[in-house]
Amino acid sequence: YETPLSYVRSGSTIWLLSSRNTRWWTNFTPASDAGAGGPDAGAPVEVMAAGARLRGRARTIQHDRERLLASLRQFLTALPRDAVIYGIGLDGERRPRESELAKALDRIAMVEIALDT
């Protein structure tokens, strides 16, 4: 399947942000990839990023709220245009408002892809 999404890349990690309502991200929950090397190994994926086809292992990070919050902050700081999609306002420096980030955690899903090196 191909699903066009905004993404943020930092080194060998790519993050994908989505609304929980979309449900595509449930393919990468720990229970769904337990047979592929353990519950934290992630599901094998191939992504197209910056014109390059990359392979890695994807998993959600819903279970770790601190990590989810930090990833959401990093994602929306890199792509502030996406904040409005998730009902998060921006401050005067176009950074996501801290007071709104934590409130959004129950509405969003974050998939983290560890790229093969």
pLDDT digits (tens, 9 = 90+) for 39-48: 567 899 999 9
Give the CA distances from residue 40 to residues 47, 61, 83, 116, in Å, rounded to whole numbers and listed in that order.
19, 10, 28, 15
pLDDT, mean of residues 6-28:
93
* Residue 31, pLDDT score: 59
Tell which residue, 12, 40, 34, 14, has the closest CA to residue 112: 14
- Bridge partners, 49 (sequence order): 52
**Mean pLDDT of all residues belonging to the chain:** 89
| SS3 category, 80 | helix
What residue has token string 């720990």?
30
Q: Counting beta carbons within 10 angstroms of the beta carbon of residue 5, is it exposed (0 to 12), middle (13 to 18) or buried (19 or more)?
A: middle
* Helix, strand, coil percentages for the chain (3-state, nearest 5): 35, 30, 35
